[in-house]
Homo-oligomer: A and B are copies of this chain.
């Protein structure tokens, strides 16, 4: 067992590439990710990453795959209580918080600039996981209401929730908003208002104090 066998360890470079690529994407966005810079930062030749990935898009797909998984985990992170309305709201806020605290990662997932999903199917397995989190939550809501199990109805609700949340966070990060001369209250309180409306549309009572903007959104 040599102390420094030239190649530090078998899979280190692969992991290091992914880590470095993630760092670059998080700090400067997806379009300025270059495998050559990854290699440069790691102190290896510009071709070394190609020993572990067939192409740049495969690196990207792997980063995206992990981002999806992190996202699904974040949705599931809030501890569950016996108040289904509170749990649903907590999940909504977890969604919003993920999107706002990791904007470039969120855009990576939902920005629509994915490498051809035909060729990178495994990339989207995390998407299924995230959707599953939603479905589970809705199944719980349905059950507690005494409604019969109806997968189609659950899927419809899940799509509605997903689209609402995505719309909310997209708008909050939208450059165009800056040019609209909105009052700070309107801008900052918007997510909370929208979340409450989604809750109303779903029939889960938003158990919030009726204060004007009871709890300011972070950031």
Contacts and interface: CB of A to CB of B under 8 A. Distances in A.
Interface of A: 29, 31, 107, 110-114, 117, 121, 124-125, 127-128, 131, 152, 155-156, 159-160, 162-168, 170-171, 173-176, 178-180, 182-183, 185-186, 189-190, 193-194, 197, 200-201
Contacts of A197: 160, 201
A63 B165 CA distance: 29
Given A163-B194, A180-B131, A174 B112 contact: yes
A182 B131 CA distance: 11
B166 A171 contact: yes
A180 B154 CA distance: 13
Given A131-B180, A159-B194, A163-B190, 20 more contacts: A110-B170, A110-B174, A112-B170, A117-B178, A124-B176, A127-B179, A127-B180, A152-B183, A152-B185, A155-B183, A160-B194, A164-B164, A164-B167, A166-B166, A166-B167, A166-B170, A167-B167, A167-B168, A170-B170, A201-B201
18 contacts: A111-B112, A117-B175, A124-B176, A152-B185, A156-B186, A156-B189, A156-B190, A159-B186, A162-B167, A162-B171, A163-B168, A164-B164, A165-B167, A166-B166, A166-B170, A167-B170, A197-B201, A201-B201
10 closest cross-chain pairs (CB), A and B: A167-B167, A163-B167, A127-B176, A163-B171, A166-B167, A117-B175, A124-B179, A163-B168, A155-B186, A159-B190
Nearest to A183: B152
Contact of A159 (B112, B113, B159, B171): B171
Given A124-B179, A167-B167, A152 B186 contact: yes
Contacts of A189: 156
Contacts of A201: 197, 200-201
A108 B197 CA distance: 29
A90 to B, nearest CB: 20
A32 to B, nearest CB: 11
Nearest to A173: B112
Contacts of A185: 152
